[in-house]
Amino acid sequence: MTKCIVFLPFLAAALSASAQAQEVSVNVGYGDLDLTGETGVERLDRRIHDAVEQVCGDPFDQRELRAARASRKCGRESLADVASPRQIAIERARGRVPSVEIADSRKAMEFAVTRRGR
């Protein structure tokens, strides 16, 4: 009985680490936004930040310091990962980057915010 009780915390920690290692992704669509103006860009940025919060959690809502740090790190990494696709979308809308036809036009107007496996 004692061996079972001692083993349970290790099992719980292993299951928790396994669940955290899964990659989580949220698509951010922008096909309905006018990215030629600041209002559209602000709406895109709000969608990106909402997606980052969905993927990484809210660092201010974390009770444990370790979880809050992990959430902030995830947020920084996720924002860095979408910085280029965001800028390309804006520049393309403003006519500064040549547009390339993509077979599935729905995918052309979205990108993914992803939490990397830990």
Q: Which residues pair with 78 in a beta bridge?
A: none
Q: Which tens digits make up the pLDDT trace of 17-35?
A: 444 557 889 999 999 999 9
- Only one residue has tokens 């292993």, namely 14
Average pLDDT of the residues in 79-91: 93
Residue 60 pLDDT: 79
Q: Which tens digits make up the pLDDT trace of 64-75?
A: 888 889 999 999
Q: Is the pTM of this model over 0.75?
A: no
Residue 39 has pLDDT above 80, yes or no: yes
Residue 18 pLDDT: 45
Average pLDDT of the residues in 88-115: 74
Quote the distance between the C-alpha of residue 64 and its chain's center.
21
Output the six-digit token pair for 4.
């079972």
